[in-house]
Amino acid sequence: MEEGRAERRRRTEALSHPQGGTRRAGVMTDVHRRFLQLLMTHGVLEEWDVRRLQKHCYRVHDRTGAVEELEDFINNINSVLESLYIEIKKGATEDDGRPVYALVNLATTSVSKMASDFAENELDLFRKALELIIDSDTGFASSTNILNLVDQLKGKKMRKKEAEQVLQKFVQNKWLIEKEGEFTLHSRAILEMEQYIRETYPDAVKICNICHSLLIQGQSCETCGIRMHLPCVAKYFQPSLEPRCPHCNDYWPHEIPEVFDPEKEREAGPSKVSKRSLRSRQH
């Protein structure tokens, strides 16, 4: 009983005692609460949005306080969220390395977050698309290949035309990205489902050699087969003149992308940014 009480005290007090000195105890103020509310409302946000959000929350609740460095701010909140098995997770878009943030539930090990949104056959369509994406070499599954699996779906029978619309629903809800008739996972899906994917497809799943996270799109060494995310390639090879595979030392045959620079993006103007994020939705 005492153990239970102590456990509960540790979990529920916002001012948690430092646990083994790993993380500084977090303090929840209205600044943090509003930040969490709005982050949850938006689902997934890019870093510059997150910074604006943070500034907004300070403006509303704590005008005089200094705006804490974003990383520390988020770490503070995460130390409170830890006992609830949720966290603000940071990831990056796989094509151009933009940092993104989402509030994710670490306890779920299924596509349960989507479960309330979609019917059984729609969820199964997503699972089929997910499998194709993971098995593919490019990280993309063609619309045709996904639609051909429509007969195998659990639940109510779905026609191909209907399935096309369901796929568009996935795109609008930021689970999938569409590019020229092919589908891959949105960074939000990767953030939220990484654990589920790694547990469900342990053999088929690809991992980045640099950051060791789940890899859907990336470049691979033609000699030894290791894979790297495009932004990881950019960061790793940035200083070198002659890019070589970190594993087998063979010449790296692919074009090295540029490292994502938030300053450059801001100079280009918001229209460019919104065009990029909308690119996937153009028909």
Site of interaction with other proteins (CB under 8 A): 4-5, 7-9, 11-14, 28-30, 33-34, 36-38, 40-43, 49, 52-53, 56-57, 60-61, 80-81, 84-86, 103, 105, 107-108, 113, 116-117, 168, 172, 270, 274, 278, 281-283
Nearer to other proteins, 5 or 157 (CB): 5
Q: Which helix (H) or strand (E) holds 220?
A: strand 219-220
C-alpha–C-alpha distance, residues 119 and 149, integer Å: 17
Q: How far is the CB of 204 from other proteins (least distance, A)?
A: 28
C-alpha–C-alpha distance, residues 218 and 20, integer Å: 38
Q: How far is the CB of 43 from other proteins (least distance, A)?
A: 6
Nearer to other proteins, 14 or 248 (CB): 14
131 Cβ contact partners less than 8 Å away, ≥ 6 residues apart: 201, 204
Beta strands in 7-153 (DSSP E): 44-46, 86-92, 99-105, 141-142
C-alpha–C-alpha distance, residues 268 and 261, integer Å: 11
Nearer to other proteins, 66 or 278 (CB): 278
Nearer to other proteins, 167 or 232 (CB): 167
Q: How far is CA 77 from CA 30, 39, 74, 139, 232, in A?
A: 12, 12, 5, 33, 27
Q: How far is the CB of 226 from other proteins (least distance, A)?
A: 36
Q: How far is the CB of 247 from other proteins (least distance, A)?
A: 39
